[in-house]
A and B are shown apart, each in its own frame.
Chain A
């Protein structure tokens, strides 16, 4: 009887340990969990075999990436699980990974070929997080979700770089108030310098990549938070040539600004010259007008005789200055 009780006590100790001591778990605030019973994840009652949430997938992709909706356990606890159940936890906080990350190879940059066939380097980061709406894909559906995301992202990125043209057209020179025809030659020449377009439009490229990767939660259970392509590294000689373009652009802008400033100054000076000439002329005319008014008053009052008398009177001082006066009898 003692041995039987000891045996039962052993079973009880084992059961207590398996059920009570190792049967409770906690899910941290940054974590989500999925519970499996005998290896099977607990499905949602309305499971329509579609865990992609709102991820936009092509019809043929939807066939390939079909995952069931599983019950997600949110942060909290302690939760209880039976010995035949297993908890799968994943952090859903945003993480980042370098673009060059590849477990199969060591590399310092991603090589890509531009539209004008130039081989250039690309660097940057991806910010991602595990998709709460498609944890099945992340835990069970895909063997190495991040490798898939990177493989997909790099493929799309290289394709985009190979076809990228400046969406705003080809303008290396800033617009001024001058006729547009004058910069046609530069615009024609700038076509096809896609490295310049890429550098100028990094935000556009990042936005495009984010749009293209909206399907990753449905595919791999990983959401792309942001694509941060930070550098496009062409060969050094191309870099120098691009720097020369920038220097020239600044020089041209400076020359144009100087020319505008000189022009404004000269035009202002010429306007002032017109005003000065007008004022001088008015100054010259003012005594004439006043004198005319005075003489008109004299004539109005005394007639032509009075006017003649005034003129004669005015000439009297001339006699003071006269050196010689010739008179006829």
Chain B
């Protein structure tokens, strides 16, 4: 048997939460979080929307009708935080007829909760369909290079064409980006890979050839410089000896003659050759055996 004072304590403990729950249940107050809207409907009509965060009293905002809402109306919570969605694999054809896959990523945010709830049974699905169709119509029949390289301006075009419709359904479209453009035909991917490989092989050959040319150029320049130097080396003796003899001759020709005679005689002596001497100026033929 639980004593009555314990029951009183428990009642005291539960009193505040119960009162708060009842007040909330009867719509006496409502708390709106950041980036959240609460739409109040009564007898099939929109009574109003609260999108300012904080504590609110529907009775003060909507009058006595707010008291009927718990019984005959509804309070719907709509998040107005920014969301994102990625539409993968939208098929388009380029101007050249190449089948391409496109992935489009977009952000959206509820900016009119009433329109979002009641203008379209499936606003997300409708928005996806619109983004997809706009993407296909914007990107179809474009040159393949433009499709691959000019994505941001194309993304803006998609955004501009989808925005008016989405706003009708209470959605505001945020940033839109063409996130992926790819080739759907495997054979085409293989062909492009082959093309790049061949190009790389071509570059390799060109580099090799260029290297050979450079080596050839270095070698020919070297041969030219070496040849010049060797000629210089060959010319060194005549140049030096000639200059010395000229200097001696300029000073006194008799001295040069004497020098040559001395040198010749020394060489003759050093050679040890057999010598037959004939006096200078002999005017007869001498037969030597």
Contacts and interface: CB of A to CB of B under 8 A. Distances in A.
A140 interface: yes
Contacts of A10: 8-15
21 contacts: A6-B12, A7-B12, A10-B9, A39-B33, A40-B53, A40-B54, A118-B193, A140-B33, A151-B177, A154-B105, A173-B210, A178-B217, A182-B214, A185-B206, A185-B210, A189-B202, A270-B225, A277-B237, A299-B252, A317-B269, A328-B282
A324 B86 contact: no
Contacts of B234: 277
B12 A118 contact: no
Nearest to A267: B225
Contact of A273 (B210, B215, B222, B233): B233
Interface string A284-310: 110111011001100100001001001
Nearest to B282: A328
B151 A255 contact: no
Interface string A11-35: 1111100000000000000000000
Interface of A: 2-4, 6-15, 36-41, 61, 64, 84, 104, 111, 113, 115-119, 136, 139-144, 147-148, 151-152, 154-156, 158-159, 162-163, 172-173, 176, 178, 182-183, 185-186, 189-190, 192-193, 195-196, 219, 234-235, 237-238, 241-242, 244-245, 248-249, 251-253, 255-256, 258-260, 262-263, 266-267, 269-271, 273-274, 276-278, 280-282, 284-285, 287-289, 291-292, 295-296, 299, 304, 307, 310-311, 314-315, 317-319, 321-328
Interface residue range, chain B: 35 or more
B211 A255 contact: yes
B279 interface: yes
B83 interface: yes
A2 B5 contact: yes
Given A249-B207, A263-B222, A144 B34 contact: no
Interface stretch (B41-49, B114-122, B128-136, B180-188): B180-188
Contacts of A318: 265, 268-269, 275, 277
B71 interface: no
B177 A136 contact: no
A105 to B, nearest CB: 8
A282 B189 CA distance: 77
A260 B5 CA distance: 106
Contacts of A61: 175
Nearest to B152: A159
A292 B256 contact: yes
B233 A277 contact: yes
B59 interface: no
A295 B192 contact: no
B197 interface: yes
A162 B151 contact: yes
Contacts of A237: 193-194, 197
Contact of B230 (A195, A270, A326): A270
A84 B107 CA distance: 32
A11 B12 CA distance: 4
B12 A13 contact: yes
B34 A255 contact: no
A104 B149 CA distance: 26
A252 B211 contact: yes
Interface in B64-108: 79, 81-84, 86, 105, 107
Contacts of A277: 232-234, 236-237
Given A104-B86, A321-B273, 14 more contacts: A15-B16, A41-B53, A115-B148, A141-B81, A143-B84, A148-B82, A155-B105, A183-B210, A245-B203, A255-B211, A269-B226, A273-B229, A273-B230, A326-B277
Interface string B125-166: 000000000000000000010001101100000000000000
A328 B193 contact: no
B6 interface: yes
A151 B84 contact: yes
Contacts of A256: 211, 214-215, 218
Contacts of A252: 207-208, 210-211, 214
Contact of B203 (A182, A189, A284): A189
Contacts of B193: 118-119, 235, 237-238
A273 B8 CA distance: 121
Given A119-B192, A281-B237, A322 B275 contact: yes
Given A155-B105, A186-B203, A252-B210, A7 B277 contact: no
A241 B204 contact: yes
Given A39-B54, A304-B254, A323 B274 contact: yes
